[in-house]
Copies of this chain bind each other. A is one copy, B any other.
Amino acid sequence: MIQKGAEIKEAKGRLGVLVPGMGAVGTTLMAGVEMIRKGYSKPYGSLTQMGTIRLGKRTEDKTPLIKEFLPLADLNDIIFGGWDIYEDNAYEAALTAGVLTKEDINKVKPFLESIKPMKAVFDKNYVKNLDGPNKKSGKNKMDLAEQLMEDMSKFKNENHLDRVVLVWCGSTEIFLEYNPVWETVSSFERGLETNHEAISSSMIYAYAAIKSGIPYANGAPHMCNDIPALIELAKENEVAIAGKDFKTGQTLMKTVIAPGLKSRMLGVKGWFSTNILGNRDGLVLDEPLSFRSKEVTKSSALEWIFQPDKYPELYGNLYHKVRINYYPPIGDNKEAWDNIDIFGWLGYTMQIKIDFQCRDSILAAPVALDLALFMDLAQRAGMKGVQEWLSFYFKSPMYAPEVYPEHDIFIQLMKLKNTLRYLKGEELITHLGLEYYD
């Protein structure tokens, strides 16, 4: 375990941020960071950029910005790159995605045009509703991994980068059952060489990154760097990894509301969640096997928060149903409608209806940014393997085998901020505060 207040390497030089998948999220991230650098907008939605951290007592009024408290990479030092199955540069891809207005995109047109996707590792067997021309070929999956490592190395050299991180911003792959090939580094590497079908494209990216000493965060719900082989590899190579599935939209709201209901010991009989979304993400999730990946990450949050084993009378009979519907008329404007059937004193029932008219990529982009910056920080602080303190950003956070995952967003935030305080040798916050009385 890392020492309290141990030294963290400075964030000197430039940081490369590579995204597999230059679609809605990836291009919104790139365009946004450039717009912020140019002063067109503030970095709304980003904890690393706008968040503060309270130090000491409430009476001290000491709450620096997080980015001033810790040595995070500066936005001006970020260089973007990525892979995609389409040949569109980031400008064209952003227009296609339709997240940002044309007016906004044009403000950073030359910058976006300069980002051209590298050829992707892609196999339609893992993402059935998509395909495109800009793909690598290789004699086997190990060959493809090596090509990716070559891409990363070249990207780093050509751009004179000090460090690189990878954040998966691509599509959801299909759900895969546990396979023994995932068990160890050696079984996995044999699998790469024999083109094992349980090794998906995203796993090849994760392998290539970790092998290259590059931190890897997974923003999609499929199995990837959370398989034993890659966790082992990350520890061996002393690389930070995190995942999975950016926590945005409905699940974000769930991990806010559920802890609130539980705080008051209000029982929950049923929770029905439906989503309508019309972008490429919706199209991909219209395919049952891809939806299965999503369903798994979306469903587990409630169970972990409510702890039905500890509160069987309150949450033991919860009927939880999640539906995702492809609905083109609203484009990237995702809408989540939840009906929650709760009960309180003497079992009397009440209902909560939540209609969240959100924008998927607008919520995801600052998450991707924060992860890039915090993963880079973790790497410089010598934190290797699973970064549980970044659970805050994920629908299905990775965690050590001996514990359970924390899904409650407020516990996650406490964990994140106390980790930052710990890294800097500050006192941890407990909110006790009895000292002001008497």
A residues sitting closer than 8 Å to B (CB atoms) are: 1-2, 28, 31-32, 35-36, 40-47, 49-52, 58-59, 63, 100, 104, 235, 252-253, 256-257, 259-260, 263-267, 269-270, 272, 274, 276, 310-311, 313-314, 319, 321, 323, 325, 327-330, 335, 337, 339, 341, 343-348, 350-359, 361-363, 365-366, 383-389, 392, 399-400, 402-404, 406, 408-411, 413-415, 418-419, 422, 428-438
- Asked if A44 and B314 sit within 8 Å, CB to CB, the answer is yes
List 5 A–B pairs whose Cβ atoms lie within 8 Å, in order of A's numbering. Answer: A52-B311, A256-B257, A352-B355, A355-B355, A415-B432
Q: Which residue of B lies closest to A349 (CB)?
A: B359
- Chain B residues in 8 Å Cβ range of A1: 434-435, 437-438
- Chain B residues in 8 Å Cβ range of A399: 436
Cα A410 to Cα B328 with chains together (Å): 31
Cα A415 to Cα B406 with chains together (Å): 19
Cα A392 to Cα B260 with chains together (Å): 11
Question: Smallest Cβ distance from A122 to chain B, in angstroms?
Answer: 27
Q: Is the interface of A mostly helix, strand, loop or mixed?
A: mixed
Question: Smallest Cβ distance from A130 to chain B, in angstroms?
Answer: 20
- Chain B residues in 8 Å Cβ range of A406: 431
- Asked if A347 and B314 sit within 8 Å, CB to CB, the answer is no
Cα A161 to Cα B419 with chains together (Å): 49
- Chain B residues in 8 Å Cβ range of A436: 388, 399-400, 402-403
- CB contact between A354 and one of B264, B311, B352 (< 8 Å): that residue: B352
- Chain B residues in 8 Å Cβ range of A269: 329
- Asked if B263 and A413 sit within 8 Å, CB to CB, the answer is yes
With contacts A265-B44, A323-B323 taken as known, whether A430 is within 8 angstroms of B428 at the C-beta atoms is yes
Question: Smallest Cβ distance from A385 to chain B, in angstroms?
Answer: 6
Q: Which residue of B lies closest to A49 (CB)?
A: B265
- Asked if A337 and B422 sit within 8 Å, CB to CB, the answer is no
Cα A42 to Cα B343 with chains together (Å): 11
Cα A266 to Cα B104 with chains together (Å): 20
- Asked if B400 and A437 sit within 8 Å, CB to CB, the answer is yes
- Asked if B276 and A272 sit within 8 Å, CB to CB, the answer is yes
- Chain B residues in 8 Å Cβ range of A235: 438
- CB contact between A104 and one of B59, B335, B346 (< 8 Å): that residue: B346
Question: Smallest Cβ distance from A132 to chain B, in angstroms?
Answer: 25
- Asked if B422 and A434 sit within 8 Å, CB to CB, the answer is yes
- Chain B residues in 8 Å Cβ range of A354: 352-355
- Asked if B346 and A44 sit within 8 Å, CB to CB, the answer is yes
- Chain B residues in 8 Å Cβ range of A348: 100, 359, 362
